[in-house]
Homo-oligomer: A and B are copies of this chain.
Amino acid sequence: MGRSRRTGPAEGGQADRREESKLALARLGAWLEERGLKHSRQRDVIVETFFAMGGHVPVDGLVARVRTLDARVSVATVYRTLKLLSECGIAVPRRFEDGQTRYEPATDRSHHDHLICTGCGRIVEFENERIEELQQRVARSHGFEVDSHKLELYGRCDRCRRAEAGTKDARS
């Protein structure tokens, strides 16, 4: 039932990330050349940093991190690069309830949805065939042909719930 793969920015092998980063850079390069665009130092740094961070990266976080490597990259460039990445299928933008866009590395794996902890902000990915099927069915029954969807579950993760219980016990 809903196998998950990466449970947060903190997990996932570093080696994998570097690998992903390389592939992405190559793919971006090809994509740029195809349309007569050029590549640049800052795009490379941004892509590498993005993959090094993994998980669901908020733009300002990425900017901050990138600037530890090259203090003069502008926010505009980061935004532009991220848009490029999503255009060439390397990254996917996500907008959760907090109103800021986060990007996650695109995987060739199938679509997934998110479980978001309102306590610690942890984001867990999951996929569930049955839910997708039901969505299709509901949509069709209303005459719709779905081409994308957004499913986010907000709640508290086990860690946060335990922590709460702890403080409650301590208090009483």
Contact = CB atoms under 8 A, between A and B. Distances in A.
Interface of A: 1-2, 4, 95, 97, 99, 115, 117-118, 124, 126, 128, 130-131, 134-135, 137-139, 141-159, 161
A134 B156 CA distance: 17
A58 to B, nearest CB: 16
A149 B148 CA distance: 17
Given A131-B134, A134-B134, A137-B1, A146 B154 contact: yes
Given A135-B153, A149-B151, 7 more contacts: A126-B138, A130-B134, A135-B151, A143-B159, A148-B154, A150-B150, A150-B152
B97 A141 contact: no
21 contacts: A1-B137, A1-B138, A1-B141, A2-B142, A95-B99, A115-B139, A118-B147, A124-B144, A135-B151, A135-B153, A142-B157, A143-B159, A144-B156, A144-B157, A145-B161, A146-B153, A146-B155, A149-B152, A149-B154, A151-B151, A151-B152
